[in-house]
């Protein structure tokens, strides 16, 4: 696609297995013939599901989109662990399960992980330590102290009966989590509570950044879509944000387009950001600065 101008907005992709998130971004960048493309939350190659792609000016919103909860469904296998915490890595520990855990034991273990927890990222992850990513240390056989990370587990529970086959006990789950949560590690954490090695054996993101799987489009279909129909798949920036709207006067627009701050005398203090419109077009988002007691720019989409 070679549009006359840059496309701005959100495209929700149903990422297939076997591709990195960067691979998807590269294909979308080529399809739209524009460089300004990013994503709000990496999915590992073996994980499928919702990958939110930001186009053009919507890339400014990636930080906001990443703060929104993500929901996953998957499967956990008890009885072995791998170097990558999923099925992509070699097995590093195995314990035969001859007497399966009761479903109550598993439910209690999962319940103990709901709320605010601290995780240690897997060695095979993109977290940086001393300027290098953890997976680079792992691939070179080096060990390094991994940083702890805060995560919030909003809802994590079992969604199927357990099965026992070849001394491995399996069950399905759903997890709604905050930014920065490693679901692979959540599986390992569950095993740690049960004192058994565990591995994430399947994972799919079914919602992220406010978008569900039912709003996503298969990558193959996107690539095959005509230029005219392609634009219809893009969610406008104004539909992505849910803050209060404010229609600017001519004087207010002059201040906003010049990046000026707005006095508390003009706009009362408010925790919620303001979406600023002029002539029915979203121009910017302002937030209230409690330290300086004034409104300042957070996002600018147009000053024309």
- Residue in 8, 23, 44, 107 annotated catalytic: 44
DSSP string across 219-258 = HHHHHHS-HHHHGGGSBPHHHH--SEEEEPPHHHHHHHHT
Tell how strand 244-247 and strand 274-278 pair up. parallel
The angle subtended at Cα 93 by Cα 89 and Cα 96, nearest 5°, is: 120
Angle, to 10 degrees, between the axis of helix 183-194 and the axis of helix 103-111?
120
- Give the separation between CA 72 and CA 78, rounded to whole angstroms: 19
> For residue 147, what is the DSSP state?
P
In 10 A of CB 7, how many CB atoms? 20
> For residue 86, what is the DSSP state?
B
How many angstroms from the chain centroid is the CA of residue 52?
Answer: 8
Instruction: Give one word for 189, left, alpha or beta, with left for phi > 0 and alpha for psi -120 to 50.
Output: alpha
CA contacts within 13 A on the Cβ side of 170 = 13
Active site residue 44: yes
What are the C-alpha distances in Å from 96 to residues 77, 81, 191, 200, 208? 12, 12, 14, 17, 36
In 10 A of CB 172, how many CB atoms? 16
Q: Residue 5's closest CA among 55, 59, 62?
A: 55
Tokens 């007691």, residue?
Answer: 293
Instruction: Give the SS3 label for residue 55.
Output: strand
Catalytic residues: 44
């Amino acid at each position: 696609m070679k549009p006359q101008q840059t496309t701005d907005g959100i495209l929700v992709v149903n990422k297939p297995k076997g591709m990195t998130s960067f691979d998807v971004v590269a294909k979308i960048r080529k399809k739209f013939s524009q460089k300004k493309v990013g994503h709000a939350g990496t999915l590992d190659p073996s994980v499928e599901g919702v990958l939110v792609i930001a186009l053009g000016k919507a890339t400014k919103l990636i930080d906001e989109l990443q703060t929104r909860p993500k929901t996953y469904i998957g499967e956990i296998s008890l009885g072995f662990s791998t170097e990558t915490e999923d099925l992509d890595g070699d097995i590093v520990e195995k314990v035969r399960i001859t007497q399966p855990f009761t479903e109550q034991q598993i439910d209690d273990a999962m319940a103990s992980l709901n709320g605010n927890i601290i995780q240690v990222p897997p060695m095979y992850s993109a977290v940086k330590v001393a300027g290098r990513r953890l997976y680079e240390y792992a691939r070179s056989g080096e060990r390094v102290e991994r940083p702890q990370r805060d995560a919030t587990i909003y809802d994590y529970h079992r969604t199927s009966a357990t099965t026992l086959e070849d001394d491995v006990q399996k069950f399905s789950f759903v997890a709604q989590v905050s930014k920065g949560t490693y679901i692979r590690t959540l599986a390992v954490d569950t095993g740690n509570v049960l004192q058994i090695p565990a591995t994430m054996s399947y994972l799919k993101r079914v919602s992220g950044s406010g978008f569900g799987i039912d709003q996503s489009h298969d990558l193959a279909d996107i690539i095959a879509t005509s230029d005219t129909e392609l634009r219809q798949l893009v969610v406008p920036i104004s539909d992505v944000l849910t803050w209060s709207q404010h229609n600017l006067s001519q004087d207010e627009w002059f201040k906003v387009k010049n990046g000026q701050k707005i006095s508390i005398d003009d706009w009362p203090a408010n925790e919620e950001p303001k979406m600023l419109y002029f002539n029915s077009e979203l121009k910017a988002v302002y937030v209230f600065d409690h330290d300086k007691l004034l409104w300042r720019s957070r996002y600018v989409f147009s000053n024309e």
